[in-house]
């Protein structure tokens, strides 16, 4: 990676153009069903047990917030939940609505400008304090940085949320080459079902190191009895498993090798800093780290591109999403011009596959609900 660190290169494709992340992501479509009930389960006891005292500030962070509809849905969901709980008036002394401070956090290269334009639209019309029907006051701020490092002062956050982000590693695992420096994951770009066992081990070791660091940093930042609600893409079992968008991407890159557009060695030395953990691995890491109790942990299956009937549009949707998350890393390794050919090849590979089996495909998501235990 030309000596640059992953955190300096990685970002979802910026702006709101044809291939941007904001225009193509579909994560928000799965957000409300999966996440809203769990966020409510976290916020209710925070308000009832007066972890957040009446009239005080509920401090929330969205880590790996990205840009587009998903972070905006998150912000409005938090406001709705606090409003609903407050207005149910079953909170004893709770006569003063808490104010909400939400920190939107991502790597500095995230498109924060677009994100805050969208936040501005959400808050259009301003916020009012006076009458009883108003929503809780919302203060949204940026907190750029890596979630594998400290981001907030000690004991300040009541609730941490992260959606579709913690499968991104801090770096491509070291140890993907053998003793003589030959790449071991040739032709593949993640830990896949056909990768060598050493490759799978190296990826898991990197994930374990990163996720442990994530938990340690958050354990300093989250208050006692505060919560974390994390969800991301996962493997359905302990067996290796490659999500289909990554399979299509590696097939498309291999096709460019066969056309002589990229060199085979270049593909052999390319791997994505992404790991899809399984439930058992997450459980083990959380319990070994020891700061958080698992309140609930579940694998939720969602069907994707379900709502699109036309097979061409369905293929285009997946090709664009795949490009929007991988564009920066691929451009850094192969050169940005590779996308002139890669996108079309990717689209046609997906289309041919969808024509054979146009049914919806499953995405496996792990949802993790954690409570910060005493230090």
Ligand X SMILES: C[S@@+](CC[C@H](N)C(=O)[O-])C[C@H]1O[C@@H](n2cnc3c(N)ncnc32)[C@H](O)[C@@H]1O
- Side by side, the strands of the sheet bearing 292-304 are 138-142, 99-105, 57-63, 157-163, 222-233, 361-372, 292-304
Query: Which of 103, 168, 248, 275 forms a contact with ligand X (CB under 6 A)?
Result: 168
The residue count for binding ligand X (CB under 6 A) is 24
Q: 103, 61 in Cβ contact below 8 A?
A: yes
Contact segment (CB under 6 A) with ligand X among 163-171, 176-184, 247-255, 363-371 equals: 163-171
Shortest gap between Cβ of 249 and ligand X (angstroms)? Answer: 14
Piece of the chain touching ligand X by CB under 6 A; list 52-60, 95-103, 159-167, 328-336: 159-167
Bridge-based pairing of strands 157-163 and 222-233 is parallel
- Verify binding: residue 276, ligand X, rule CB under 6 A: no
Question: Is residue 88 classed exposed, middle or buried when 0-12, 13-18 and 19+ CB atoms within 10 A define those classes?
Answer: exposed
Site string for ligand X, 79-118 (x = CB under 6 A): ---------------------------xx--x--------
Q: Is 53 helix (H, G, I), strand (E, B) or coil?
A: coil
- Residue given tokens 């079902």 in the structure block: 193
What's the min distance (Å) between Cβ of 20 and ligand X? 12
* Region for 335 from its dihedrals, namely left if φ exceeds 0, alpha if ψ lies in -120 to 50, beta otherwise: left
Interacting span for ligand X (CB under 6 A) from 9-17, 44-52, 342-350, 359-367: 9-17
Q: Which residue of this chain has its Cβ atom nearest to ligand X in the complex?
A: 66
Among 97, 100, 160, 165, binds ligand X (CB under 6 A): 165
Q: Which residues pair with 299 in a beta bridge?
A: 366
As a whole number of angstroms, the distance between CA 20 and CA 14 comes to 6
Token output for 112: 């924060």
Closest CA to 323 of 80, 24, 6, 5: 24
Smallest distance, Å, CB 251 to ligand X?
21
According to the binding rule CB under 6 A, does residue 172 interact with ligand X? no
Which two tokens mark 18?
């044809």
Q: Supply the minimum distance, in Å, between the C-beta of residue 108 and ligand X.
A: 9
Angle ∠(239,240,243) on CA atoms, nearest 5: 125
Identify which of residues 70 and 195 has a Cβ nearer to ligand X in the complex: 70
Interaction of residue 65 with ligand X, rule CB under 6 A: yes
Q: Where are the beta strands (DSSP E) in 9-76?
A: 57-63
Any contact of residue 12 with ligand X (CB under 6 A)?
Answer: yes
**Whole-number Å distance between alpha carbons of 175 and 189:** 14
Which member of 20, 24, 27, 317 binds ligand X (CB under 6 A)?
Answer: 27
Site string for ligand X, 119-148 (x = CB under 6 A): ---------------------------xxx
Residues that bind ligand X (CB under 6 A): 7, 10-12, 25, 27, 64-66, 68, 70-71, 106-107, 110, 146-148, 163-165, 168, 170, 325
């Amino acid at each position: 990676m030309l000596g640059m660190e992953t955190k300096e290169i990685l970002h979802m494709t910026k702006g709101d153009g044809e291939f941007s992340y904001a225009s193509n992501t579909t994560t928000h479509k799965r957000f409300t069903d999966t996440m809203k009930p769990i966020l409510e389960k976290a916020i209710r006891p925070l308000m009832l047990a007066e972890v957040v005292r009446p009239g005080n500030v509920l401090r929330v962070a969205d880590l790996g917030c990205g840009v587009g509809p998903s972070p905006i849905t998150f912000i409005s969901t938090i406001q709705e939940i606090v409003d609903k709980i407050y207005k149910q008036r079953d909170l004893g002394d709770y006569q003063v609505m808490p104010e909400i401070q939400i920190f939107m956090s991502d790597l500095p290269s995230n498109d924060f400008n677009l994100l805050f334009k969208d936040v501005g639209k959400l808050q259009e019309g301003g916020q009012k304090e006076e009458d009883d029907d108003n929503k809780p006051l919302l203060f949204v701020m940026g907190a750029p940085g890596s979630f594998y490092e400290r981001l907030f002062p000690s004991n300040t956050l009541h609730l941490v949320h992260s959606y579709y982000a913690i499968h991104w590693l801090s770096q491509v695992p070291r140890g993907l080459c053998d003793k003589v420096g030959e790449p071991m994951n040739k032709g593949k770009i993640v830990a896949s079902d056909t990768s060598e066992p050493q490759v799978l081990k190296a990826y898991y070791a990197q994930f374990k190191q990163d996720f442990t660091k994530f938990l340690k940093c958050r354990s300093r930042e989250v208050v006692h009895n505060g919560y974390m609600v994390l969800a991301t893409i996962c493997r359905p079992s302990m067996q290796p498993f490659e999500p289909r968008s990554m399979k299509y991407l590696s097939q498309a890159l291999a096709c460019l090798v066969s056309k002589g557009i990229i060199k085979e060695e270049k593909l052999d030395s390319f791997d994505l800093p992404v790991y899809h953990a399984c439930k058992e691995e997450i459980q083990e890491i959380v319990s070994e780290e020891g700061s958080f109790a698992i309140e609930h942990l579940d694998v939720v299956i969602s069907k994707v591109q379900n709502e699109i009937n036309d097979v061409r549009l369905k293929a285009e949707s997946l090709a664009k999403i795949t490009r929007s998350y991988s564009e920066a890393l691929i451009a850094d390794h192969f050169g940005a011009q590779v996308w002139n050919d890669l996108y079309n090849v990717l689209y046609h590979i997906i289309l041919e596959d969808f024509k054979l089996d146009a049914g919806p495909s499953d995405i496996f998501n792990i949802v993790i609900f954690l409570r910060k235990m005493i230090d």
